[in-house]
Structure formats: C-alpha cells, structure tokens
Amino acid sequence: ELKVEQNPLFLSMQEGKNYTIYCNYSTTSDRLYWYRQDPGKSLESLFVLLSNGAVKQEGRLMASLDTKARLSTLHITAAVHDLSATYFCAVDMYMRFGAGTRLTVKP
Amino acid sequence: DSGVTQTPKHLITATGQRVTLRCSPRSGDLSVYWYQQSLDQGLQFLIQYYNGEERAKGNILERFSAQQFPDLHSELNLSSLELGDSALYFCASSAALAGGVADTQYFGPGTRLTVL
C-alpha cells in the first residue's frame, strides 16, 4: 500500500528565512502534486510534477521530484506571512495525500 | 474561484439519515473526483468518474455511492450516517482522465457535513 509521509508536520518560520518541506512515498510513482490549503478553505493546486528530476517554481516556492529516491521537496525562499497555510503533497494519479505541513510565517 | 461548485456548503443531520452532496465541475472537465477530509483520517480519495463512468475507487465505504450524470454534474450519496462521517467533502474536476498529462485537479469549496 502506498504511504506518503510529509515532514515536518508543523513549521514555524520567520519572515525572510528559507526552509524545505519533504514528501517521501513508499512505492514507485511518476507523478506528484503539491497543494495549498488556507484555514477553512479548499485546496489550491501549486505544482504537478510528472517526471524524475522535474523542478517547478512559482514565486517563492520551488518544488522538485526525485522518483528514484521517492522524494519530493517544496522549498520556500525568503518566506512572507502570506505563505502561512497547510501544504499537502499527493502521490499517484488517485491522490494519496500526506498528512500536511502547517506552515506559520511570523514577522 | 476554481470554477467547481458544490452544494450545500453546510449540512447538519442525524445518525442513520441519508444525504446527497452535489458537485458541478468546471466547464469542459470530464473527470470528477470526491474526497473526504477529517481530523482523524486526513484527506482521502473516495471515487472518480469520467464522462459518466466510474473509473477508480478509493477508501469509499459501502454506505456511500456516487454517480455522474449526462450533464457531468456528480452526486455523492451518504447513507446510514454515523458520527464518524462528519467531515469536509470535496469535489474536484479535471479535464483529462486521471493519468493524462493535463490532469491538474481543481477543487470545489467543499461541503461540511455534521452528523449529530
């Protein structure tokens, strides 16, 4: 059974700092998704990674995928308060989700 | 706004009852997915329909069923409700059959179900 582990589950950052969220998964998959969820809101698609070595960037967020290591990372550069949210990774075409990383960016 | 609509926004009901949640996908999207989000279980994929046909099943209970109609809207039916069914139910849609390149899913605002 496919298992998806995210870490950390909680992350408190100061504005301007960099950090990385990790998403490990247990069986082979060639696709990985990152989503953002604000409190009480729905999920917003951030990235779709479809191949080994894929790297995508949007603003202060950059996601990468290493299918051989079964690892994806979401890197946050120079965090700002607006990035505070819960970030989920999901693996395979039917979306096995990680537990989520609750990010809080403090001034 | 993702373009996916769900009704109702909130639903409060009693144990043993049956409810129907409705989802309208983005214009042109043929795939509809249902998810459940709860504190206990996190986010779980329930079921997917593509152009009216069931395509994949996830952790969907036998008490739950879904269908997709010719106009592509979908309904999720939950019966014999239990306290543990209280959760946020999301619908998502995508243009492609899952596994296709353009299969980014767009999530609706969700229906919050409370079973008392």
The 3 state secondary structure assigned to A1-55 is CCCEEEECCEEEEECCCCEEEEEEECCCCCCEEEEEECCCCCEEEEEEECCCCCE
Q: What is the mean pLDDT of chain A?
A: 93
With CB atoms and an 8 Å threshold, state whether B42 touches A99: yes
> What local confidence, expressed as pLDDT, does residue A66 receive?
93
As a residue count, chain A comes to: 107
A72 Cα distance to chain centroid = 7
Give residue B101's pLDDT.
45
Q: Is A45 touching B (CB cutoff 8 A)?
A: yes
The answer to whether the Cβ–Cβ distance between A33 and B106 falls below 8 Å is: no
Pair type for strands A10-14 and A101-106: parallel
pLDDT band of A51, cuts 50, 70, 90: confident
Is A97 in CB contact (< 8 Å) with chain B? yes
Residues in chain B whose Cβ is within 8 Å of chain A:
2, 33, 35, 42-45, 48, 56, 58, 90, 92, 98-99, 101, 103-110
pLDDT recorded at residue B38:
94
Contact B42 A48 (CB under 8 A): no
pLDDT at B99: 52
Confidence band for A28, pLDDT divided at 50, 70 and 90: confident
Beta bridge partners of B92: B33, B107
pLDDT in tens, A78-100: 999 999 999 999 997 677 899 99
pLDDT the model gives residue B62: 96
The whole-number average pLDDT for the span B85-90 is 97
pLDDT for position A1: 79
pLDDT (mean) for B4-28: 97
Stronger pLDDT, B98 or B95, i.e. the higher one: B95
Return the pLDDT at B97. 64
- Residues B11-31 have a mean pLDDT of 96
B8 cis-preceded (ω within 30 degrees of 0):
yes
Mean pLDDT across chain B: 92
The pLDDT > 70 percentage for chain B reads 95
Report chain B's terminal Cα–Cα distance, integer Å: 31
Alpha carbon distance, N-terminus to C-terminus of chain A: 41
Given a cut of 70, whether residue B108 has pLDDT beyond it is: yes
